Every structure is written in structure tokens, then in C-alpha cells.
């Protein structure tokens, strides 16, 4: 059942309105690499590892770099052990969690 839920979230998260919600200015994977390198941000994999520590036993289904006001934020979508989708926001400058929703 958990795999089915993960699959469904992965499908729906491909939709910009569901995946990004209030984060409508997310960049493509190619742009993410360029922005991370140019700004000396922590790697996306580091943000995912940090999110996994914040939400133990969660399955990460998506990781985006989104523009928020005048800066960027990693938006990690994770499915917790109860099957609930959560957004973990990670600062690309410090690699620390700034919020969970």
C-alpha cells in the first residue's frame, strides 16, 4: 500500500500546481545545477539527506530548488511513515532545515 501511495504522489508531484504549491518559481534540474554551482549552494543530495533526518523513515519523492522572494530554497517533498506528504524547506546556503509543512 505504501508503494502505491508513493507512486501516486510521484505522479501528482509532476504537476506544477501540486508539487510546487506556493513555490511556483522552481527551476529545472539543468538550471538547478548551474545555480548551485554559481552560488556555491550545498548540493541537492545534501538537502535530501537533511530532509530525511528531519522526517525519519520518510520516502523522498521530489526535490526542487525554488525562488522565494529574493533568494532560493530547496523544497523537498517526503512521504512520512503515516503516508502523509510533507514539505521540508532547506536553506541552500547553510543546508539547514528552515521549516516543515
Examine the pLDDT at 77 and tell me if it is beyond 90. Answer: yes
Lowest mean pLDDT among 11-15, 44-48, 85-89: 11-15
Cell numbers at 83, concatenated: 503516508
Task: Report the pLDDT value the prediction gives residue 101, as an integer from 0 to 100.
Answer: 87
Collect all residues with Cβ–Cβ distance below 8 Å to 70 and sequence separation of at least 6: none
> What's the burial of 78, exposed, middle or buried (CB within 10 Å: 0-12/13-18/19+)?
buried
Mean pLDDT, residues 59-84 taken together: 92
Q: In what order do the strands lie in the sheet with 59-68?
A: 59-68, 71-79, 85-90, 97-100
Confidence band, pLDDT 50/70/90 cuts, at residue 12: very low
Looking at mean pLDDT, say which of 15-19, 54-58, 61-65, 67-71 comes out highest.
61-65
Amino acid at each position: 500500500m505504501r508503494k502505491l501511495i508513493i507512486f501516486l504522489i510521484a505522479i501528482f508531484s509532476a504537476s506544477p500546481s501540486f508539487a510546487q504549491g506556493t513555490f511556483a518559481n522552481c527551476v529545472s534540474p539543468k538550471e538547478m545545477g548551474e545555480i548551485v554551482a554559481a552560488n556555491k549552494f550545498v548540493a541537492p543530495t545534501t538537502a535530501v539527506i537533511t530532509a530525511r533526518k528531519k522526517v525519519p523513515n520518510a520516502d523522498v519523492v521530489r526535490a526542487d530548488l525554488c525562488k522565494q522572494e529574493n533568494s532560493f530554497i530547496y523544497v523537498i517533498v517526503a512521504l512520512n511513515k503515516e503516508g502523509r506528504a510533507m514539505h521540508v524547506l532547506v536553506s541552500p546556503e547553510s543546508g539547514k532545515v528552515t521549516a516543515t509543512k
